């Protein structure tokens, strides 16, 4: 069974130099952001550190297909649509406010790691990455081989 890994740590290496990483994360944390300032910097550093541990797994991949929202904030609209459909079909689901809170919890990953993922996760030339850019209506707008 295939597993999907969405993000890699900011530096892409298991060996993290805390000071430089802290500076990069702190710069992003201090920049305009939808959700980063809602989270303690120490928590974001912790997540980045744990994410780096997945590199030993993803290093075994020969290829990766990345389905990427044209605009990160589309994930809010998509989740709102899913919950509205669930409420309509099943009579239960999150309210719009609950959806926003739910997405806000994982949205920092989009803000922190999407740029690196879009530029490619592999260091070796014999590995391939395909980035499918998806528009707001979920149509593939662009295919990029990295």
**76-119: pLDDT as tens digits:** 999 999 999 999 999 999 999 999 999 999 999 899 888 888 98
Flag whether the pTM goes above 0.85. Answer: no
- Whole-angstrom Cα distance, residue 22 to residue 33? 17
Quick one: which of 114, 133, 9 has its CA closest to 59?
9
| 11-41: b (≥16 Cβ within 10 Å) or e | bbeeebeeeebbeebeebbeeeeeebeebee
pLDDT of residue 138: 97
pLDDT of residue 120: 87
pLDDT of residue 94: 97
Measured between its terminal Cα atoms, the distance across the chain in Å is 24
- Whole-angstrom Cα distance, residue 67 to residue 65? 6
- Whole-angstrom Cα distance, residue 124 to residue 118? 16
**117-126: pLDDT as tens digits:** 898 888 778 8
Say if domain 18-145 classifies as CATH 3.40.50.300.
Answer: yes
- Whole-angstrom Cα distance, residue 139 to residue 42? 37
**8-54: pLDDT as tens digits:** 566 544 333 333 456 777 787 778 888 988 888 888 888 888 888 88
């Amino acid at each position: 069974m295939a597993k999907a890994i969405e993000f890699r740590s900011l530096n892409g290496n298991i060996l993290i130099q805390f000071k430089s990483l802290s500076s990069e994360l702190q710069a992003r944390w201090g920049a305009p952001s939808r959700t980063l300032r809602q989270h303690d910097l120490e928590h974001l550093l912790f997540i980045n550190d744990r994410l780096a541990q997945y590199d030993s797994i993803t290093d075994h991949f020969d290829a990766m297909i990345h389905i990427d929202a044209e605009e990160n904030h589309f994930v809010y609209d998509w989740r709102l649509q899913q919950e509205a459909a669930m409420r309509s079909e099943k009579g239960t689901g999150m309210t719009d406010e609950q959806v926003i809170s739910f997405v806000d919890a994982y949205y920092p990953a989009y803000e922190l790691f999407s740029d690196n993922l879009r530029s490619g996760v592999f260091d070796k030339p014999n590995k391939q990455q395909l980035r499918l850019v998806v528009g707001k209506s979920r149509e593939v707008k662009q295919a990029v081989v990295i």
